[in-house]
Chains A and B, each alone.
Chain A
Amino acid sequence: AQTVTQSQPEMSVQEAETVTLSCTYDTSESDYYLFWYKQPPSRQMILVIRQEAYKQQNATENRFSVNFQKAAKSFSLKISDSQLGDAAMYFCAYPGANSKLTFGKGITLSVRP
């Protein structure tokens, strides 16, 4: 069974600065995906970025990028030029068989103006 661990419950960042959210996972599979989801206070969960394990290149979506270390089973999210709207809970997730998502406990990110 896959496990996802997010050990930082809370983080804070100054507006316009960069923050990195950590995630580790465990799996016996060799080909898989990893996701970061954002859940703002309005509750709607949205996909921020995805990484395919077979790709060497780290995924990037505008201000969001990942640092994917397959051997270390690490999958961190970097948010550059942080904005007030980035304040939310962020979840690292592993899609297993039939798209069943295994989520970490999440991290609450606050952005200071």
Chain B
Amino acid sequence: DAGVTQSPTHLIKTRGQQVTLRCSPISGHKSVSWYQQVLGQGPQFIFQYYEKEERGRGNFPDRFSARQFPNYSSELNVNALLLGDSALYLCASSLGPGRPYEQYFGPGTRLTVT
């Protein structure tokens, strides 16, 4: 079975630009979460979506937005990029939003803002 997939693998953008990152969950998983991982740090929670509805949001500015599609794939959008947005963006999927459900992570998208 295919795991969580993310695209693109790497991305280089300029300050002020906008970026869209994509995630496809494991088949049958209806919950998708996004995390930002700055080099050398632990991942920070950005968003969680379940059944196309936002279920949780971390402490990130409104420049960050996301959505989930009917096939449960998800997009993370970041507007007006700042140098500090450079990070590894991880997507995780799970069967549901409850805490016993294991989250399976994708390989991530490495975003570099210059």
Contacts and interface: CB of A to CB of B under 8 A. Distances in A.
Contacts, number: 68
B101 A104 contact: no
A11 interface: no
Interface string B39-66: 0111111001010000110100000000
A100 B56 contact: yes
Given A32-B99, A43-B107, A100 B88 contact: no
B97 interface: yes
A98 interface: yes
Q: How many A residues touch the partner, as a band?
A: 20 to 34
Q: How many B residues touch the partner, as a band?
A: 20 to 34
B103 interface: yes
Given A47-B103, A91-B43, A101-B45, 18 more contacts: A32-B99, A42-B107, A44-B105, A44-B106, A91-B42, A97-B56, A98-B48, A98-B50, A98-B98, A99-B31, A99-B48, A99-B97, A99-B98, A100-B56, A101-B33, A101-B35, A105-B42, A106-B41
11 contacts: A33-B100, A43-B107, A44-B105, A44-B106, A47-B103, A97-B99, A98-B48, A99-B31, A99-B94, A100-B58, A101-B92
